[in-house]
């Protein structure tokens, strides 16, 4: 039976604290009144603090910076809701060391040269299938950009706000909406914050309006950077221009290229490879990885990469990647893994989680009810049996169980699709769907404890 210690551990691991409802979701075996008594004791002993009233009341482990979303008890900066692979945990263990304990490293051209479009994959086939399934819209067969134009008003607010937030901007979503829709700057905000939001708006409009001709070439990239950088750089000549000087990355031992000719050559190679990638998600993620790593501009490289990552999604009429609710600490550490280790696993895990979070926001404004998936319908019973088998045997490797079940029951030509379908069901598993698989909360929690889902 979960104890007071379990509740305290959850609060320590929770970015921004937790409401009572959120705690009960994580500990379904605790009755509401019991949880209330436990929390009261923790507050009385000084181990927990509280903010707010009623249902909005949030609880924080003592030492967490209430109101800032920065608990000191969790060093990795990743909220527990973002599933991380073992490889990602290894990257975190490295980048969470103090800078003096990490090995100084320069730009590794081999990292880019080793990537072969449509042969090398940062996103596995099963992940790409999941992303396509999540992001599919009713406009998938329409001309390029149909969907992004249809949701443009909402997109301008969400993406401008969330991407700016990752840069430390303090505008709220409501402030952003007032600025974008009515031109009304928020009171008490620095001019640089207002400029950053407006620049995002201009850059997103640039992509959407030119979607028919936009591709990953110098013209698109330079103009995208120029829009994002307007009035924000010490030297206006650096807007939309390959940098002419060395730069340093704060809190990192990574040193990017400093010679303009080397930067130019690497940028040409990067764009040439990006343009040849056929899958929109792989193409999107490739830009998220390699553009910040190269640092082709004097500043505003990460912002440029986040918008560039949306170009393939806009073109394919997929849901956008808005970065809603992505924690800045998590994003920074994922990028550090690329800078210092040329490892993409941590950024990949964050990308998949962030995309699912983005699509959830847009489900309500999709213009159709989803048609039943014929594959899911045909293999409904097998999916349920396999999910149940995996969860009730936490000692076994989940992927091996899935492969064995699919190999025994599914014709060879359908095996990759059915396997991807089951993996997706496992990844989405939560307390609200357990009855569908004949599972008890205790079985699910035992499985999560082993596999960290």
189 is in an annotated binding site: no
Q: What is the pLDDT of residue 372?
A: 54
Q: What is the pLDDT of residue 15?
A: 64
Q: What is the pLDDT of residue 75?
A: 45
Whether 129 and 417 have beta carbons less than 8 Å apart is answered as yes
Low-confidence stretches of the chain (pLDDT < 70) are 1-2, 15, 63-77, 363-373, 453
The label of the residue with tokens 């496992």 reads: 426
Name every residue whose Cβ is closer than 8 Å to that of residue 6 and which is 6 or more positions away in sequence: 27
252 is in an annotated binding site: no
Residue 105 — φ and ψ, nearest 5°? -145, 145
Q: Which residues pair with 65 in a beta bridge?
A: 70
The whole-angstrom separation of Cα 174 and Cα 190 is 16
The label of the residue with tokens 């009261």 reads: 40
The whole-angstrom separation of Cα 348 and Cα 414 is 26
CB atoms within 10 A of CB 412: 8
Q: What is the pLDDT of residue 65?
A: 43
Q: What is the pLDDT of residue 73?
A: 31
Q: pLDDT digit string (tens) for 75-110?
A: 445 777 788 888 999 999 999 999 999 999 999 999
The whole-angstrom separation of Cα 243 and Cα 84 is 35
304 is in an annotated binding site: yes
30 is in an annotated binding site: no
CA distances from 17 to 70, 72, 126, 342, 356 (A): 9, 11, 33, 33, 22
Q: What is the pLDDT of residue 363?
A: 67
Q: What is the pLDDT of residue 67?
A: 41
Percent of the chain having pLDDT more than 90? 60
5 is in an annotated binding site: no
Q: Which residues pair with 205 in a beta bridge?
A: none
Contacts of residues 92-101 at CB distance under 8 Å and 24 or more positions apart, as own/partner, are 92/333, 92/337, 92/346, 94/337, 94/340, 94/341, 95/333, 95/336, 95/337, 95/340, 95/341, 96/333, 99/251, 99/252, 99/253
User: What rounded mean pLDDT belongs to the chain?
Assistant: 88
160 is in an annotated binding site: no
pTM above 0.75, yes or no: no
In the chain, what are the helix, strand and coil shares in percent, each to the nearest 5? Answer: 60, 5, 40
Name every residue whose Cβ is closer than 8 Å to that of residue 370 and which is 6 or more positions away in sequence: none
Task: Name which of 124, 165, 11 is nearest 74 in CA terms.
Answer: 11
Q: Check the CA dihedral 320-82-361-391 and report its sign.
A: positive
The label of the residue with tokens 């929690």 reads: 445
């Amino acid at each position: 039976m979960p104890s007071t210690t379990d509740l305290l551990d959850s609060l320590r691991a929770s970015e921004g604290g937790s409401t009572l409802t959120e705690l009960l979701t994580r500990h379904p075996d605790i009755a509401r009144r019991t949880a209330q008594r436990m929390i009261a004791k923790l507050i009385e002993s000084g181990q927990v603090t509280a903010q707010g009233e009623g249902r909005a009341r949030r609880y924080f482990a003592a030492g967490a910076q209430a109101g800032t979303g920065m608990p000191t008890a969790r060093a990795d900066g990743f909220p527990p809701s973002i599933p991380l692979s073992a490889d990602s945990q290894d990257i975190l263990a490295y980048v969470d060391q103090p800078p003096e304990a990490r090995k100084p490293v320069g730009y590794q051209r081999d990292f880019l040269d080793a990537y072969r479009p449509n042969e090398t994959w940062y996103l596995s086939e099963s992940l790409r299938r999941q992303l396509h399934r999540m992001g599919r819209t009713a406009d998938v067969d329409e001309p390029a950009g149909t969907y992004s134009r249809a949701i443009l008003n909402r997109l301008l607010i969400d993406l401008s706000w969330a991407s700016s937030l990752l840069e430390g901007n303090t505008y709220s979503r409501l402030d952003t909406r007032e600025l974008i829709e009515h031109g009304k700057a928020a009171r008490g905000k620095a001019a640089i914050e207002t400029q950053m939001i407006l620049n995002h708006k201009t850059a997103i409009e640039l992509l959407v309006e030119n979607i028919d001709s936009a591709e990953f070439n110098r013209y698109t990239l330079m103009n995208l950077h120029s829009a994002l950088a307007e009035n924000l750089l010490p030297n206006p000549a650096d807007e939309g221009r390959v940098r002419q000087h060395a730069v340093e990355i704060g809190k990192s031992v990574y040193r990017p290229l400093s010679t303009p000719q080397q930067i130019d050559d690497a940028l040409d190679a990067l764009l040439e490879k990006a343009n040849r990638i056929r899958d929109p998600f792989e193409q999107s993620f490739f830009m998220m990885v390699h553009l910040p790593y190269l640092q082709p501009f004097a500043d505003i490289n990460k912002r440029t990469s986040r918008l560039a990552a949306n170009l393939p999604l806009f073109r394919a009429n997929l849901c956008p990647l808005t970065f809603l609710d992505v924690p800045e600490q998590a994003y920074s550490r994922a990028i550090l893994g690329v800078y210092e280790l040329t490892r993409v696993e941590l950024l990949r895990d964050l990308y998949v989680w962030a995309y699912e979070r983005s699509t959830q926001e847009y489900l309500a404004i999709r213009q159709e009810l989803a048609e039943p998936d014929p594959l899911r319908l045909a293999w409904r019973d097998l999916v349920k049996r396999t999910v149940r088998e995996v969860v009730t045997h936490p000692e076994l490797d989940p992927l091996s169980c899935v492969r064995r079940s699919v190999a025994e029951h599914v014709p060879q030509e359908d095996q990759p699709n059915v396997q991807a379908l089951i993996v997706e069901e496992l990844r989405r598993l939560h307390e609200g769907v357990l009855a569908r698989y004949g599972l008890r909360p205790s079985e699910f929690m035992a499985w999560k404890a082993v596999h960290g889902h």
